[in-house]
């Protein structure tokens, strides 16, 4: 009997060892897979950075994936201040500032309007307000091609065609849908009794908004600002359709640099320019990425 | 019209509809100063809507509400001289307890010193002095409840409105706060309208109860009236726990009084004599009725309340000892009937036992309409 | 007066935004749809001429290519982004210690402009100096990778870049979904002896149907709107081999000066989007009974 139980105990032990080994192998495979994916996502960024630091000679002779033999920052300087975007050769700098001048007011205005709209649609519902919300929401999803022609004409009539102000206007109008959605979904989780209590306390519409709702809003403001900034900074369609030579945003300028057919193809300058164009949104994403994810999922999961 | 000026609240022929759905139908209620009115009913009966109409948070479709003798048509909540405590407490999340309580005074432009004096007074009364600098998220459920009440008390209004204020608390705290609210009512002599779905809260707190169902008032009365003379089967069933036994029976009247017979299993009848007149029988004939008998009116023969009971042997299906009492379930008139016995009554499930039926407090209802007929 | 004001303030606050949306979304859609039934060319004309523009579209080989490309791109893009996104989410859901940094890495392409993505991939897929030369250096001298300049294959490079950019976002969606699955159900299944893959297949994934729907909506919407990526990566070429309805419309509107064709192709895009979005919005916004 004792032998039997000893044998049993031993086979139990070896079975446990096998299970442990299996688990370790499984974990190892899991991490390997995750790392392969990580490399896949990082590769283009790696290629962009290394290419931007290589000389043209090295690019032609060397390998895409090799590190630069010596660091050459000249293509960054070229991309920033002297690369040609069509006939103009001032680099990305003026267009970078165009994009800043355009996104700051557009983000601010669309967020503000979204906050007030969301507050009304979540807490001050009236007959038909849900229909209005649905109509606004649908506006988020339209392909913008369907509004480009009449918008181009309207901007002309309003005498803001080809101006930064015109682009701000366009971005605000077509951004309201999303910002309203974000704020509405956030405020709708606030119990209606809060507004009732404040009404009994004697506070009015704006007082309740500024004293009670705005103070609880920083999380959703961060989300909305990041979202809007990314959308507006990265926009190409409105930029290319509604701007002219001096008012183009950076995405349009980048495309012009990369796809200009004159002269030698300077891949390192292209890559440096692409990184410069991506830096602001990448920076925001790295600094506030946590909120970014939360915001992206909040809007589409909760609906 | 001199009456209305004495009343703190009077609601006249109030209707409320959302589109074609009628939520409140012809509501008439009034309360005198110092009264504690409880609106009770199952969820969806319209009691919260009625409270919101009183507060001015919702508009009524027809009828009028008078507070302190003044019509409230078109008057916004802030001008109604009311204060309200909500089910979720509705504390302003980013403000401290102190700011929560003084927010209303601040909005009204009351001087800072007066605000602080009021705050100190109310905080002392509710024993929340030490919490004034905390945020609502740092408070326990019971503390939030006190802060919500504090916010109402500083208003010192003509009328307090409570919307199910205790339903988010656990059972023990709920009983404590119930006592607290009752004490506040007694010390302040405040006029209160209180909404709840909990009939025990209604019974313990109210000086006047309004029972509602489907937007219609079923009965208005003191707790005693509601409990002992329910106007219909709905009120009888809703108020009281365990609820009243509603047993199908046949009433027969003749020269020697009224008898009520209840069918038992095996084709036998349990016949009990009933010493009151049943409406619509005129002392003769037979009629199908529903006999309403509270569990405490069916006891064991040795119980002191069983003196005027009529004894009958019943088959005991289930025995449920509850500490202070023992409940037993038997079958009468095709229904499960609960009886309330002494804690040490000797009954065994599956056997017969003698039960005492006290019909002096029984109610009799018309089966079709459910209305009380005796 | 103040009472009236108080009551209508919410509506007045909403009014400017709503009027803007009404005019600039719905009014403009109406305008474009109307113009698509005229003979507008360089300038819009307003006399209705029936479905002539749609007949021209139907006869246009270029638009046929654009629609075919949209179908190829749409199906492959949605399929791969969903599969990769779901796989990454499930892998990341295994109590990975470095989840935070990994998630950041998978998701960062979402922060980039499609123009930047297109520029990067255009370089990586460069027939002479990109992946091809890497493979040659590794000793695989026969390796040829010239999809970017091959009219038949160029559309697939857009799929590659698009999936790279968007699959991380899909992962984030699914990860949020995985985290919100009722833990008790999973624990019950584990106690019942159900294996982990089985739990995913029969319990978790089926319960995420709403997330699949959300992902599908977002991705199909991106696919139909895809314009920047095509412009940056292939410019619609070689020839018009990688044209999509979005680039077709832009070319008609701004380089060909054919407003009629631009309006009618935009209307076709609008119809496709509506067919996908309206049922979705309807199901999301209908009153729930709870």
B222 plus B285 within the same structural domain: no
A164 plus A61 within the same structural domain: no
Q: What separation in angstroms does the CA of B353 have from each of B316, B333, B339, B349? A: 7, 17, 12, 9
Tokens of B200: 């025990």
A55 plus A86 within the same structural domain: no
- C-alpha dihedral (C279, C280, C281, C284), degrees to nearest 10: 120
Task: Check residue B3 and give its pLDDT.
Answer: 46
Q: B52–A196: do the CB atoms touch at under 8 Å?
A: yes
Q: Number of folded domains in chain A?
A: 2
What does the H/E/C string look like for chain C? CHHHHHHHHHHHHHHHHHHHHHHHHHHHHHHHHHHCCECCCCCCCCCECCCHHHHHHHHCHHHHHHHHHHHHHHHHHHHHHHHHHHHHHHHHCCCCCCHHHHHHHHHHHHHCCHHHHHHHHHHHCCCCCCHHHHHHHCCCCCCCCCHHHCCCCHHHHHHHHHHHHHHHHHHHHHHHHHHCCCHHHHHHHHHCCCCHHHHHHHHHHHHCHHHHHHHHHHHHHHHHHCCHHHHHHCCCCCCCCCCCHHHHHHHHHHHCCCHHHHHHHHHHHHHHHHHHHHHHHHHHHCCCCC
Chains within contact range of chain A (3+ C-beta pairs < 8 Å): B, C
Q: Are B206 and B193 in contact (CB under 8 A)?
A: no
Q: What is the residue-averaged pLDDT of chain B?
A: 90
pLDDT confidence tier of residue B311, bands split at 50, 70 and 90:
confident
Half-sphere exposure for A264 (CA within 13 Å, toward CB) = 7
Dist CA B240 CA B199 (whole Å)? 7
Q: Is C215 exposed, middle or buried (0-12, 13-18, 19+ CB in 10 A)?
A: buried
Tokens of A52: 């931007």
Chains within contact range of chain C (3+ C-beta pairs < 8 Å): A, B
Task: Note whether residue B370 is domain-resident.
Answer: no
Q: Are C284 and C211 in contact (CB under 8 A)?
A: no
Dist CA C237 CA C103 (whole Å)? 34
A37 plus A106 within the same structural domain: no
Please enumerate in sequence order all residues whose Cβ is within 8 A of that of B107, keeping only pairs 6 or more positions apart, or say none. Answer: A201, A202, A203, A207, B78
Task: Note whether residue B92 is domain-resident.
Answer: yes
- Model pLDDT for residues B174-212, shown as the tens digit of each residue: 998 899 899 989 988 899 999 999 999 999 999 999 999
Of A147, A234, A303, the CB nearest to C24: A147
Domain span holding position A120: 80-298
Task: Note whether residue A303 is domain-resident.
Answer: no
Tokens of B154: 């500083």
B289 plus B180 within the same structural domain: no
Q: Of B24, B39, B17, B19, nearest to B206 (Cα)?
A: B39
A61 plus A125 within the same structural domain: no
| β-bridge mates for residue B162, sequence order | B85, B194
B138 plus B35 within the same structural domain: yes
> Does the pLDDT value for residue B99 go beyond 60?
yes
Dist CA A254 CA B302 (whole Å)? 98
Task: Check residue A303 and give its pLDDT.
Answer: 33
Q: Is B215 exposed, middle or buried (0-12, 13-18, 19+ CB in 10 A)?
A: buried
B276 plus B252 within the same structural domain: yes
Q: What is the pTM of this model?
A: 0.84
Tokens of A122: 């979540």
B21 plus B149 within the same structural domain: yes
- Domain with residue A202: its CATH number is 1.10.3720.10
- Model pLDDT for residues B5-53, shown as the tens digit of each residue: 478 999 999 999 988 889 999 999 999 999 999 999 998 899 999 999 9
For chain A, residues with pLDDT lower than 50 are: 1, 299-303
Q: Of B113, B120, B175, B169, nearest to B141 (Cα)?
A: B169
Higher pLDDT, A63 or B120: B120
For chain C, residues with pLDDT lower than 50 are: 289-290
A87 plus A57 within the same structural domain: no
Task: Note whether residue B61 is domain-resident.
Answer: yes
Planar angle of CA C69, C72, C76, nearest 5 degrees: 140
pLDDT confidence tier of residue B1, bands split at 50, 70 and 90:
very low
Higher pLDDT, A153 or B1: A153
Using CA coordinates, name the residue in chain B closest to C6.
B76
A208 plus A84 within the same structural domain: yes
A140 plus A61 within the same structural domain: no
Rounded to an integer, the average pLDDT of B162-174 is: 89
Chains within contact range of chain B (3+ C-beta pairs < 8 Å): A, C
Please enumerate in sequence order all residues whose Cβ is within 8 A of that of A150, keeping only pairs 6 or more positions apart, or say none. Answer: C27, C28, C31, C32
Tokens of B32: 């005198």
Task: Check residue B2 and give its pLDDT.
Answer: 44
B209 plus B285 within the same structural domain: no
Residue A194 touches partner B, C-beta closer than 8 Å: yes
Task: Note whether residue B76 is domain-resident.
Answer: yes
Please enumerate in sequence order all residues whose Cβ is within 8 A of that of A26, keeping only pairs 6 or more positions apart, or say none. Answer: none
B221 plus B265 within the same structural domain: no
Task: Check residue A169 and give its pLDDT.
Answer: 94
Task: Check residue A296 and give its pLDDT.
Answer: 55
Task: Check residue A295 and give its pLDDT.
Answer: 58
Q: Is A119 exposed, middle or buried (0-12, 13-18, 19+ CB in 10 A)?
A: buried
CATH superfamily of the domain spanning C61-257: MetI-like (1.10.3720.10)
A59 plus A177 within the same structural domain: no
Of A197, A207, A212, the CB nearest to B86: A197
B155 plus B297 within the same structural domain: no
Task: Check residue C162 and give its pLDDT.
Answer: 93
Task: Check residue C97 and give its pLDDT.
Answer: 84
Task: Check residue B74 and give its pLDDT.
Answer: 85
- Model pLDDT for residues B44-80, shown as the tens digit of each residue: 899 999 999 999 998 899 999 999 888 998 888 888 9
A159: phi then psi, degrees, rounded to nearest 5: 60, 30
B79 plus B133 within the same structural domain: yes
Task: Note whether residue B34 is domain-resident.
Answer: yes
Q: What separation in angstroms does the CA of C75 have from each of A14, A265, C86, C241? A: 50, 34, 16, 18
Dist CA C277 CA C290 (whole Å)? 25
A130 plus A197 within the same structural domain: yes
Among residues A72, A90, A111, the one where a domain terminates is A72
Residue A253: which H helix or E strand, with range? helix A250-259
Task: Check residue C288 and give its pLDDT.
Answer: 54
Among residues A52, A72, A92, the one where a domain terminates is A72
The residue among C8, C9, C14 with the most chain A CBs within 10 A of its CB, best to mutate, is C14
The SS3 of residue B281 is: coil
A94 plus A39 within the same structural domain: no
Domain span holding position B290: 245-365
Task: Note whether residue A203 is domain-resident.
Answer: yes
- Domain with residue B71: its CATH number is 3.40.50.300
B157 plus B43 within the same structural domain: yes
A147 plus A33 within the same structural domain: no
Task: Note whether residue B201 is domain-resident.
Answer: yes
pLDDT confidence tier of residue B135, bands split at 50, 70 and 90:
very high
A231 plus A131 within the same structural domain: yes
Q: C6–B74: do the CB atoms touch at under 8 Å?
A: no
What is the ipTM metric for this complex?
0.86
Of C109, C133, C228, the CB nearest to A41: C109
Task: Check residue C287 and give its pLDDT.
Answer: 62
Residue C6 touches partner B, C-beta closer than 8 Å: yes
Q: Number of folded domains in chain B?
A: 2
B94 plus B177 within the same structural domain: yes
């Amino acid at each position: 009997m004792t032998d039997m139980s000893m044998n049993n105990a031993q086979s139990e032990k070896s079975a446990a060892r096998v299970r442990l080994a299996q688990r370790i192998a499984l974990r190892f495979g899991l991490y390997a897979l995750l790392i392969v994916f990580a490399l896949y996502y990082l590769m283009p960024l790696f290629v962009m950075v290394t290419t931007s630091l290589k000389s043209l000679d090295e690019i032609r002779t060397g390998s895409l994936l090799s590190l630069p033999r010596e660091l050459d920052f000249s293509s960054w300087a070229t991309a920033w201040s002297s690369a040609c975007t069509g006939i103009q050769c001032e680099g990305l700098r003026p267009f970078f500032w165009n994009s800043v001048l355009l996104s700051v007011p557009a983000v601010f205005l669309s967020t503000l309007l979204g906050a007030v709209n969301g507050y009304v649609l979540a807490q001050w519902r009236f007959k038909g307000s849900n229909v209005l919300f649905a109509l606004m929401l649908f506006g988020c999803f339209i392909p913008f091609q369907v509004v480009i022609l009449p918008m181009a004409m309207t901007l002309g009539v309003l005498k803001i065609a080809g101006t930064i102000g015109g682009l701000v206007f366009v971005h605000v109008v077509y951004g309201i849908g999303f910002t309203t959605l974000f704020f509405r979904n956030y405020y709708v989780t606030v119990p209606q009794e809060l507004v009732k209590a404040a009404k009994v306390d004697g506070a009015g519409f704006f007082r309740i908004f500024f004293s009670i709702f705005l103070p609880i809003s920083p999380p959703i403001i961060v989300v909305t600002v990041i979202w809007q900034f990314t959308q507006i900074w990265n926009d190409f369609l409105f930029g290319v359709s509604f701007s002219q030579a001096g008012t183009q945003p950076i995405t349009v300028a980048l495309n012009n640099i990369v796809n200009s057919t004159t002269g030698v193809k300077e891949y390192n300058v292209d890559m440096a320019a692409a990184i410069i164009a991506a830096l602001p949104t990448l920076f925001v994403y790295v600094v506030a990425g946590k909120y970014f994810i939360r915001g992206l999922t909040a809007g589409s999961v909760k609906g | 019209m001199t009456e209305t000026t004495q009343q703190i609240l009077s609601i006249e022929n109030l209707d409320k509809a959302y589109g074609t759905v009628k939520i409140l139908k012809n509501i008439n209620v009034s309360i005198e100063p110092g009264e504690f009115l409880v609106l009770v009913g199952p969820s969806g009966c319209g009691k919260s809507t009625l409270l919101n109409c009183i507060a001015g948070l919702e508009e009524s479709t027809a009828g009028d509400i008078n507070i302190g003798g003044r019509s409230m048509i078109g008057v916004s909540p802030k001008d109604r001289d009311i204060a309200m405590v909500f089910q979720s407490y509705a504390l302003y999340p980013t403000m401290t307890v102190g700011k929560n309580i003084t927010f209303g005074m601040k909005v009204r432009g009351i001087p800072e010193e007066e605000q602080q004096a009021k705050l100190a007074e109310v905080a002392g009364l509710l024993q929340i002095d030490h919490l004034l600098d905390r945020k609502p998220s740092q408070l326990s459920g019971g503390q939030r409840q006190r802060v919500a009440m504090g916010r109402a008390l500083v208003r010192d209004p003509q009328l307090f409105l409570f919307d199910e204020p205790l339903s988010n608390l656990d059972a023990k705290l709920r009983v404590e706060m119930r006592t607290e609210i009752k004490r506040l009512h007694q010390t302040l002599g405040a006029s209160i309208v209180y909404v709840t779905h909990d009939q025990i809260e209604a019974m313990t707190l109210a000086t006047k109860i309004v029972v509602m169902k489907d937007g219609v008032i079923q009965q208005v009365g003191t707790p005693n009236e509601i409990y002992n003379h329910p106007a219909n089967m709905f009120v009888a069933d809703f108020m009281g726990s365990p609820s009243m036994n509603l047993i199908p029976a046949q009433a027969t009247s003749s020269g020697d009084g009224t008898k009520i017979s209840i069918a038992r299993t095996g084709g036998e009848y349990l016949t009990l004599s009933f010493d009151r007149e049943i409406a619509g029988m005129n002392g003769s004939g037979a009629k199908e009725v529903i006999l309403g008998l509270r569990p405490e009116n069916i006891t064991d023969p040795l119980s002191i309340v069983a003196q005027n009971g009529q004894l009958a042997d019943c088959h005991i299906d289930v025995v449920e000892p509850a500490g202070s009492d023992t409940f037993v379930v038997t079958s009468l008139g095709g229904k499960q009937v609960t009886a309330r016995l002494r804690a040490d009554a000797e009954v065994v499930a599956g056997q017969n036992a003698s039960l005492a039926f006290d019909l002096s407090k029984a109610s009799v209802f018309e089966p079709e309409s459910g209305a009380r007929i005796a | 007066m103040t009472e009236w004001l108080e009551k209508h303030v919410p509506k007045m606050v909403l009014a400017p935004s709503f009027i803007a949306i009404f005019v600039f979304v719905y009014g403009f859609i109406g305008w474009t749809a109307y113009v698509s039934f005229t003979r507008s060319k360089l300038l819009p004309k307003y006399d209705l001429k029936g479905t002539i523009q749609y007949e021209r579209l139907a006869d246009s080989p270029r638009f046929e290519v654009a629609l075919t490309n949209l179908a190829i791109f749409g199906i492959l893009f949605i399929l791969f982004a969903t599969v990769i996104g779901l796989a990454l989410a499930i892998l990341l859901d295994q109590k990975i210690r470095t989840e935070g940094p990994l998630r950041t890495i998978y998701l960062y392409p979402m922060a980039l402009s499609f123009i930047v993505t297109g520029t990067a991939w255009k370089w990586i897929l460069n027939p002479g100096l990109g992946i091809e030369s890497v493979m040659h250096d590794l000793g695989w001298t026969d390796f040829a990778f010239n999809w970017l300049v091959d009219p038949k294959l160029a559309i697939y490079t857009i799929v590659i870049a698009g999936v790279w950019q968007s699959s991380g976002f899909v992962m984030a969606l699914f990860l949020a979904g995985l985290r919100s699955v009722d833990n008790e159900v999973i624990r019950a299944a584990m106690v019942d002896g159900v294996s982990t893959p089985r739990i995913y297949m029969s319990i978790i994934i089926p319960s995420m149907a709403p997330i699949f729907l959300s992902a599908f909506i977002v991705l199909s919407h991106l696919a139909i709107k895809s314009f920047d990526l095509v412009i940056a990566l292939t410019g619609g070429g070689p020839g018009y081999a990688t044209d999509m309805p979005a680039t077709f419309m832009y070319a008609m509107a701004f380089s060909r000066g054919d407003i009629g064709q631009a309006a009618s192709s935009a209307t076709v895009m609008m119809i496709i989007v509506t067919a996908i979005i309206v049922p979705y919005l309807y199901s999301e916004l209908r009153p729930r009974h709870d």
